[in-house]
């Protein structure tokens, strides 16, 4: 007899875990197939600590993590010419931007404030929008529905940015956080999406929870009404165009109404004969793909300069891919820190950067660093993003696959619709479930 779940999620990253926790809070039984350590480390690939964000914590009912120091910014964006310190509250943020940008600070500050305000407006639009239809996901129907339902504002981000007359350097700094979310982000991408993401970047707030309380709480949510499945998967069983069960190495079977997963992983969980089917092969060819890598190093704490915050977006002068690196430091011992370094590549089959490449990229940020100072701690684990970020997909992103109950990971919606869009997807699933049971 197989265990029955509402949804089974092959979690690619922390954002998929947030989606699962939200469904579990609504009373749905959710299975999350991933290692706990991998999910926790993937939270170190977000520019803002997710447990310092009202956007995340308010939706999950979690306590906000406390500020460590009122003079420490939520994150920094650093280039060879600038070091921008971003705080959640406007007075500290404006003080830091005036110090960092000189006479140009007002334009940059006014623009990100404007984006955050638009983010509030767009969040309300998402609450009423279908976004995707889990039953009718074909391109023809999507085209039809987009003509009869209200569409999102198709204004491009560039149209707003150009009104503020930023320098090319400052435009690049503005875009850098968005490209950490999706390497496909461009100035011509929708203003709608850019505003929602900047709303998240500036959504930190004063809190009172400790360092690990939020992590404990999010896993308690799953333990109470779901399951974290860390046991290795053996095979996925499909019948026709529908997935039925996941078999684990112990012999345990898990059935679910909805499956969410990365197509490549799903394909290789099929038995060999099933991989030859037309539906299975379509998984490998249907979607464009970007790849994210996260490397973890140890280094002497004295090599991390005091003015740098725990979360740093490094934007080197080089135009080669990747053009942005996210570094997040954690104190391990009084003399040692752990540094998580992540980046995105547009090529789906890309290989991770070598330690030499990483050292060369970091040398502009930490010129005193030598190659022997970076001690690799673990092998880099890739995660994938399949939706090519394009305005034409704004109303109906193609999250459905050739299998009627298999969808791309929920985190795929983040570049288009921000966190609210991911939560809206959960609500759509529950709305459909209620209709089916009537």
Same domain, 346 and 377: yes
**Could you report the per-residue pLDDT of 140-198, keeping only the tens digit for each?**
544 554 444 557 778 999 999 999 999 999 999 999 999 999 999 989 999 999 999 99
CA distance to 122, 264, 269, 317, per residue, from 281 (Å): 37, 10, 13, 41
224, 106, 208, 244: which is closest to 165 by C-alpha? Answer: 106
**Could you report the per-residue pLDDT of 325-375, keeping only the tens digit for each?**
999 999 999 999 999 999 999 887 778 999 999 999 998 999 999 988 989
**Final residue of a domain: which of 201, 229, 252?**
201
Contact 146, 152 (CB under 8 A): no
In a domain, 227, yes or no: yes
Q: Can you list the alpha helix ranges (DSSP code H) found in 46-167? A: 54-60, 90-101, 105-128, 139-148, 157-161
Neighbours of 229 (CB within 10 A): 22
pLDDT of residue 208: 84
In a domain, 12, yes or no: yes
Q: If you search the block for the tokens 């979607």, which residue do you land on?
A: 287
pLDDT of residue 242: 92
* Full domain range(s) for residue 346: 290-385
Mean pLDDT calculated for residue range 65-88: 93
**Could you report the per-residue pLDDT of 250-287, keeping only the tens digit for each?**
989 999 999 999 999 999 999 888 888 888 888 888 78
Same domain, 375 and 399: no
Cross-strand pairs, 255: 4, 245
pLDDT band at 434 (very low <50, low <70, confident <90, very high): confident
Examine the pLDDT at 123 and tell me if it is beyond 50.
yes
Mean pLDDT calculated for residue range 209-223: 85
Higher pLDDT residue, 100 or 139? 100
Q: Kindly report the length of the chain.
A: 438
Same domain, 394 and 281: yes
Average pLDDT, the chain: 89
Q: Which residues contact 290 (CB under 8 A, 6 or more apart)?
A: 182, 183, 184, 344, 345, 346, 347, 348, 384, 385
Neighbours of 224 (CB within 10 A): 9
pLDDT of residue 130: 80
CA distance to 6, 20, 41, 238, 422, per residue, from 24 (Å): 10, 6, 22, 25, 14
Mean pLDDT calculated for residue range 408-425: 93
Provide the token pair at 190. 């929708």
Report pTM.
0.92
In a domain, 267, yes or no: yes
Same domain, 375 and 419: no
Task: Kindly tell me the sign of the dihedral angle through the C-alpha atoms of 33, 136, 403, 256.
Answer: positive
Same domain, 270 and 297: no
CA atoms within 13 A of residue 139's CA, in its CB half-sphere: 5
Mean pLDDT calculated for residue range 379-400: 83
Q: Which residues contact 162 (CB under 8 A, 6 or more apart)?
A: none
Q: List the CATH number of the domain containing 433.
A: 3.50.50.60
pLDDT of residue 337: 95
CA R_g for the chain: 22
CA distance to 152, 188, 310, 400, per residue, from 159 (Å): 16, 8, 33, 31
pLDDT band at 133 (very low <50, low <70, confident <90, very high): low
pLDDT band at 29 (very low <50, low <70, confident <90, very high): very high
Provide the token pair at 26. 């609504």
351, 300, 297, 290: which is closest to 328 by C-alpha? Answer: 297
pLDDT band at 1 (very low <50, low <70, confident <90, very high): low
pLDDT of residue 138: 47
Same domain, 177 and 225: no
Same domain, 197 and 95: yes
């Amino acid at each position: 007899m197989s265990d029955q779940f509402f949804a089974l999620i092959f979690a690619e990253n922390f954002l998929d875990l947030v989606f699962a926790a939200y469904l579990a809070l609504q009373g749905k039984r959710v299975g999350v197939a991933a290692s706990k350590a991998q999910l926790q480390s993937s939270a170190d690939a977000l520019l803002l600590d997710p447990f310092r964000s009202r956007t995340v914590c308010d939706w999950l009912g979690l306590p906000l993590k406390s500020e460590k120091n009122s003079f420490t910014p939520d994150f920094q964006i650093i280039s060879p010419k600038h070091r921008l310190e971003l705080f959640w509250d406007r007075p500290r943020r404006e003080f830091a931007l005036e110090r960092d940008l000189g006479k140009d600070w007002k334009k940059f500050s006014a623009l990100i404030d404007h984006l955050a305000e638009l983010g509030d407006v767009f969040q309300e639009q998402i609450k009423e929008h279908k976004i995707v239809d889990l039953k009718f996901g074909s391109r023809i129907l999507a085209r039809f529905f987009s003509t009869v339902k209200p569409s999102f504002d198709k204004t491009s981000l560039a149209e707003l940015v150009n009104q503020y007359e930023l320098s090319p350097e400052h435009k690049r700094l503005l875009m850098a956080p968005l490209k950490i979310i999706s390497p496909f982000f461009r100035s011509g991408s929708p203003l709608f999406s850019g505003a929602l993401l900047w709303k998240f970047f500036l959504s930190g707030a004063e809190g009172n929870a400790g360092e690990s309380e939020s992590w404990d709480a999010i896993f308690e949510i799953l333990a109470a009404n779901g399951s974290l499945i860390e046991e290795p998967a053996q095979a996925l069983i499909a019948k026709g165009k529908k997935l039925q069960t996941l078999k684990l190495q112990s012999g345990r079977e898990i059935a679910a109404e909805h499956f969410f997963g990365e197509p490549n992983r799903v394909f290789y969980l099929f038995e060999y004969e099933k991989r030859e089917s037309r539906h299975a092969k379509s998984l490998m060819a249907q979607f464009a793909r970007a790849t994210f890598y996260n490397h973890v190093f140890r280094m002497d704490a004295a090599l991390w300069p005091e003015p740098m915050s725990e979360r740093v977006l490094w934007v080197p002068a080089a135009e080669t891919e990747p053009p942005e690196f996210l570094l997040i430091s954690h104190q391990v011992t009084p003399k040692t820190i752990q540094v998580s370094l992540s980046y995105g590549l547009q090529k789906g089959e890309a290989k991770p950067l070598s330690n030499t490449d990483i050292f060369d990229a970091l040398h502009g940020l930490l010129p005193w660093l030598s190659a022997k100072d970076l001690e690799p701690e673990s092998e880099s684990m890739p995660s994938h993003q399949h939706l090519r970020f394009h305005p034409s997909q704004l109303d109906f992103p193609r999250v459905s696959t050739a299998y009627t109950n298999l969808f791309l990971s929920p985190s795929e919606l983040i570049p288009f619709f921000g966190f609210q869009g991911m939560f809206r997807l959960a609500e759509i699933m529950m709305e459909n479930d209620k209709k089916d049971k009537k």
